[in-house]
Structure 1
Amino acid sequence: MAAHRKPRNRPLGGSTARTAATLALAGAATATAFDGTGHAEPQRTPDQVRAEVDELYQEAEAATEKYNGAKEKADAAQRRLRSLQDEAARREDRLDSARDALGTVAAAQYRNGGLDPALQLALSADPDQYLEGAEFAERAGDRQSAAVTRVRDQLREIERLRGAARIELASLRSRQAELKRSKRTINEKLGTARQLLDRLSPPEQAGVTTEGTGGNRASRADPGDGRTALPVAGPVAAPGPRAAAAVAYAYQKIGSPYVWGATGPNAFDCSGLVQAAYRSAGVALPRTTYAQISTGRRVSRSELLPGDLVFFYSGISHVGIYVGNGQMIHAPNPSAPVRLAPVGQMPFAGATRVV
């Protein structure tokens, strides 16, 4: 019988060694992953989150102003389209009346055998009325010719109105598509910001929302809840009654929530607050920041007076109402209500004096 010998251990070599090493590394990587010590996304500090959230809010606000502009134009296109449709309907009613009149004349001619009105009068049994009748026939012919001309003109005008309505409808649909795109962008930016904030503890979230772009880092007068008292140095008189009324309105709205696209009376976005404040003072302002900055007279930062509009960022995407002592009232972003804030907390882009 053959002897049963114990097999010898042979060193691993070649492809066998490489396979074993690969398996070992894979096992180690798997174990590391389960232990939670792998290459995970680095934890952001509250300051980093604040910076990212600020940037997202700024981008969302720029998209909000685009939305506001597109909505303003869509509303105008809707009004023009409705006006054109109403005018076309009125023209069609007048056209129907003119056609009825022509139909009456045509029917009368058919009943009378289609004879020329002058010949009919010449053969009349009452020749004494010939001249009077002939004059009537001439007037009737003129009226018929004028009626035909009016019908033709009305048909051309109705077609023109319909063409203009088609153009307005195309414009309206384009603006509505732009609204959808801007709305989607806004919601995406705000959703990402919310996700970032949700990763922080409640105290850290409070720090971000009170000290971020929409907050009051440099304001000693702000207790942190957005319901700020008058500036530290005391109120400054506005240069005129309408500017004073706009400033007073803004103070009354401190603490109101920020809602993008809102123009009051209970919620606002930044340009919506400015528009509502001056509307309360009897002054009509455009809807968007980039239109508002072209209203009134441009003033330098050193010339600011209460009631002036102050704008921020290179894209003119944010606006507030200056109230004196280097401070403004503005609607910051969804994480902060309408509040008093220092003008210097954001990149200054310009100012205008409306009245």
Structure 2
Amino acid sequence: MESRDSPSYSSCIFFICLSTLPIFVSAIDPRPQAQLRFHRNGEFKILQVADMHYANGNKTRCQDVLPEQMASCSDLNTTAFLERLIRLESPDLIVFTGDNIFYYAGNATSMDAAFSPAVSSRIPWAAVLGTHDRPSTLSSEEMMKHIVTMNGSLSQLNPPGYTIDGFGNYNLEVGGVEGSSLHNKSVLNLYFLDSGGTSDVPSIPGYDWIKLSQQLWFKRTSDELEKAFRKEPEPQKESAPGLVYFHIPLPEYATVKSSNIVSVKQENVKSASMNSGFFTTMKERGDVKAVFTGHDHINDFCGNLMGIHLCYGGGFGYNGYGKEGWARRARVVLAALEQTDEGAWGAVSSIKT
């Protein structure tokens, strides 16, 4: 287990540099404020937590820890680890990318315990479902409905007005710095999708995939956000950058060349056996800079494929499988805004993790 003063992070680093128009502070009409917003220091930080696998608290034994740690290790170590990371990092948003609980303990009590550090922190958080969140005593819809109602949760069941596969497909907008000319625009777009569990098509074995209905929603939402970013006031030349979060990695994760990977790949990519084309959909839209998944606990790499960074969060929970002697971990993403010579904050200039 990690010592209390040295938590582990997924350690790969990439920078995304974005060209923007000069932005100056100006008077703006008051509008409803975004729930998420860049700080006055021009930064916004996201903590990704993948694969907690929370079950029955102190009754749940840990997997793949050192022999001398086994007797005292339980789900409570996962809770303590999350509490410690939240204190140290002070993120602006916490994102849980599935397998939040373990199916045999799949109930509201387990979810309440798993997410309790985020709730107690009063930091906004969002979640999607994974493969081990289901099947359980709750359906996927019931599970997502419970997450939506929890304190601090910005999660949504599904976008209104759409017939869409899965539960937990939604987007969040991150506004510009208070008082800047981009105060009323989303300068960073976050997309969340339900990547499903296992295939329910008999002729296609294995894991599920991002369905066509979800891709259509993503394309329309991305297009609407781009139009809003390009229109008056302060019209921009290109889309605001987007980050995408879901659980099961895309097949493209396995195609990234080792020369384009930062950090470690210690197991095969376990994606769907068919490719539904979501990577191509994101590439065609052009706004997505990175994808963040979980599922494969002892992979924590980021790989650059055609300009989109495909990243793992790394296994977080002690009830999930790991590798003896290899620390549980999380991923931190820091987005920073451009600052003009006059000191005004503009659009996103870099994203690093």
Same fold (TM over 0.5): no
Q: Which has the larger share of helix?
A: 1
Higher share in strand: 2
So what's the TM-score if we normalise by structure 1? 0.23
Larger radius of gyration: 1
TM norm structure 2: 0.24
Q: Higher relative contact order at CA 8 Å, sep ≥6: structure 1 or structure 2?
A: 2
